[in-house]
Chain A
Amino acid sequence: MMIKAIFYKEWIKTRWYWLLALLLSIGFAGYAMLRVARVYSMKGAEHLWIVMIQRDAIFVDLLQFVPLFVGLALALVQFVPEMHHKSFKLTLHLPIRATRAVTAMLSFGSVLLIATFALSLALMWGYLQSVLAPELWQHIILSTLPWYLAGLAAYLLTAWISLEPTWKHRVINGVIALLLLRIYFMSPAPESYNSFLPLLAVVTLSYSLLSMLSLTRFRDGRQD
């Protein structure tokens, strides 16, 4: 019951931003597909396929940092006002373990983000599979997965920084977060992350553990 209430609270906090994020995410994915459709109608399917096979083009490069900013902004919208207005303390006084409450908050945000990204991927798949061979649309979709994982990582790491009570640690955590986010953008080569993706997904989800450290420091009363 209490978890449901937390979910409702998070929904109230984030619903307008989520609508914006959804429009932004789908808008960029749709624009990338429009560009593919334009190449298809202007120069024909042959040109599209050959450019992909011979030049390793994937046509969706403009999406690279979109999930990152969507995830980062969701964490800011969800956690910064609560920390700023000191209302996070109230959440910790709810009749539920603090770690469970924070886990519920992070789960809500993660599911919202995954749903947003899944809709973008579904939109891309819906169009691409109609004009490209499976090898080619899989090539595009697999190449974008590290970017979407980066979006989830940006959300969880920003949540960790936002929940941290002192500025000194926020800066240190920020540097660590930047280095961790760099891992998702190490190579522009399509499909270069394929064998690393399962491990990267597990590590990304594990970043939710870091928020518990900030929570502990918050409960211990650490202040600047």
Chain B
Amino acid sequence: MIRTCKIFFGCLIVLLLLWQIPSIYNFFAVKPTDTPFTLYSSVVGKFAVLQHGEDKKMTYKDHTGGEYTEDQFDSILPTFYYRQLITDGRFPDSICGRAVTPRDVQISNFNMRISPLDLNAPKIGVQQLLESMSGRVDLTLPDDVFRITDSGIEFVKMATNEIDDRKSDRFTEMMLSKGFVFPAYRMSGNPTDRKEYDEGYVMLDANRKLFHIKQTVGRAYVRAIELPKDLVVEHLFITEFPSRKWLCFMTDVEGNFWVVERDSYAIKRTEIPQFNPEAESMLIIGNMFDWTVRVNRANEQCYYAINADDYTLIDSLTYSTPNKTMPGLKFTTTKDKFVKPRFVN
């Protein structure tokens, strides 16, 4: 008995040391790697880099070493600094040979963040499905929520906490008639009234077939989206950007990044190199000419410039961000929102 107690106590001490020594070392000794703010400029065909110089002043350069003044920097990134250019009366009539207005730039600009913290997190099993065609300018939140079960979709009235059988049957029948196999493998939506329009949800059914589901004038809109042969989708990210160009972004099981265009439901593969959204974070700053895609990988931060029209890779840039942390036992990480013991390098 006492021997068991001593072994248990010894194990606890070892675990506490494995947890505390690396965490104290990492807190005091490891400084986060600072990488400069970087955006691709289609005007000069290079990555524009903004960073603090040695005298703490901002420096404006491109990745080949060319230097710029602050005003020149605004001009080589006209879609990012368009408000500054308008204020200065310097907004151009055309960019890269294409006639543009500030409104065009405003509508086509978008930012998208994909973080493992959002994917690897506890989820509540009920969601809201907004009315996509209410006839009003402002969206309103519905008075019910839905859950996807093994046999259908169930709407629950919030006021009474009771299932709305008629609506549930109507949606379930429509989804089944379009070939949806319950339960859903994945789904992505953005159920908030703080957006310009609503596209409902994109869902992968139990067979990983892709569907677009929304509520229009109280009725179910269900569209099966044909996937290219051999494409096995893993994660979905609904977009709902002001440009209304895309329905969603997707990653497949091999780490390729795809877009689904909104009007045609055309599916196109981008040339963003392999990306694992469960372990790596991504930031896309897009405009009508190009996307600057930043992917934070284990020991490097990669920037990719992607052509906004055909999604081809224009250029890439990598900053080394070596991991200098001491390996040890951790209960939380920056990759998920779960608390559990794991050994982290």
17 contacts between A and B (CB under 8 A): A45-B159, A50-B141, A53-B124, A54-B192, A176-B12, A179-B20, A180-B12, A187-B332, A187-B339, A192-B122, A192-B337, A193-B340, A195-B338, A199-B340, A210-B8, A210-B9, A213-B9
Expressed in whole angstroms, the Cα–Cα distance for A212 and B9 within the complex equals: 11
Encoded as 1 (CB less than 8 Å from any A CB) or 0, chain B from 82 to 122 comes to 00000000000000000000000000000000000000011
Distance in Å: Cβ of A64 to nearest Cβ of chain B: 14
> Which residues of chain B come closer than 8 Å to A53, judged between CB atoms?
124, 126-128, 145, 191
User: Which residue of A has the minimal Cβ distance to B4?
Assistant: A209
Query: Is the pair A136, B126 in contact by a Cβ cutoff of 8 Å?
Result: yes
Expressed in whole angstroms, the Cα–Cα distance for A186 and B2 within the complex equals: 31
> Which residues of chain A come closer than 8 Å to B141, judged between CB atoms?
46, 50
User: Which residue of B has the minimal Cβ distance to A208?
Assistant: B5
Of A1-9, A13-21, A27-35, A127-135, which binds chain B?
A127-135
Count chain A residues whose beta carbon lies closer than 8 angstroms to a beta carbon of B: 39
Encoded as 1 (CB less than 8 Å from any B CB) or 0, chain A from 203 to 221 comes to 0001001101100100000
Encoded as 1 (CB less than 8 Å from any A CB) or 0, chain B from 111 to 151 comes to 00000000001101111100000000000010101010000
In the assembled complex, A99 has its CB within 8 A of some CB on chain B = yes
Give the 6 A-B CB pairs with smallest separation, nearest first. Answer: A191-B122, A135-B125, A196-B340, A209-B5, A212-B5, A49-B158
Interface size class of B (residues with CB under 8 A): 35 or more
Expressed in whole angstroms, the Cα–Cα distance for A190 and B4 within the complex equals: 35
Most buried by A among B159, B338, B339, B341: B339
In the assembled complex, A44 has its CB within 8 A of some CB on chain B = yes
> Which residues of chain A come closer than 8 Å to B332, judged between CB atoms?
186-187
> Which residues of chain A come closer than 8 Å to B160, judged between CB atoms?
45
Query: Is the pair A189, B122 in contact by a Cβ cutoff of 8 Å?
Result: yes
Expressed in whole angstroms, the Cα–Cα distance for A179 and B8 within the complex equals: 16
Expressed in whole angstroms, the Cα–Cα distance for A46 and B12 within the complex equals: 46
> Which residues of chain B come closer than 8 Å to A199, judged between CB atoms?
340-341
Contact A49/B337 with A179-B20, A194-B122, A213-B2 known, Cβ cut-off 8 Å? no
Contact A176/B145 with A52-B124, A193-B339, A210-B9 known, Cβ cut-off 8 Å? no
Expressed in whole angstroms, the Cα–Cα distance for A127 and B102 within the complex equals: 54
User: Which residue of A has the minimal Cβ distance to B19?
Assistant: A179
> Which residues of chain B come closer than 8 Å to A206, judged between CB atoms?
8
Interface residue ranges of B152-201 to A (CB < 8 Å): 156, 158-161, 191-192
In the assembled complex, B16 has its CB within 8 A of some CB on chain A = yes
> Which residues of chain A come closer than 8 Å to B121, judged between CB atoms?
189, 192
In the assembled complex, A183 has its CB within 8 A of some CB on chain B = yes
Encoded as 1 (CB less than 8 Å from any B CB) or 0, chain A from 163 to 193 comes to 0000000000000100110010011011111
User: Which residue of B has the minimal Cβ distance to A192?
Assistant: B339
Query: Is the pair B156, A133 in contact by a Cβ cutoff of 8 Å?
Result: yes
User: Which residue of B has the minimal Cβ distance to A203?
Assistant: B12
Distance in Å: Cβ of A10 to nearest Cβ of chain B: 21
Distance in Å: Cβ of B298 to nearest Cβ of chain A: 23
Known A45-B160, A179-B20, A192-B338; 6 more pairs at CB < 8 Å: A46-B141, A131-B161, A133-B156, A191-B122, A196-B339, A209-B9
User: Which residue of B has the minimal Cβ distance to A209?
Assistant: B5
Expressed in whole angstroms, the Cα–Cα distance for A209 and B8 within the complex equals: 8
Expressed in whole angstroms, the Cα–Cα distance for A48 and B141 within the complex equals: 13
Query: Is the pair B331, A183 in contact by a Cβ cutoff of 8 Å?
Result: yes
Query: Is the pair A44, B8 in contact by a Cβ cutoff of 8 Å?
Result: no
Expressed in whole angstroms, the Cα–Cα distance for A45 and B2 within the complex equals: 55
Encoded as 1 (CB less than 8 Å from any A CB) or 0, chain B from 322 to 337 comes to 0000000001100001
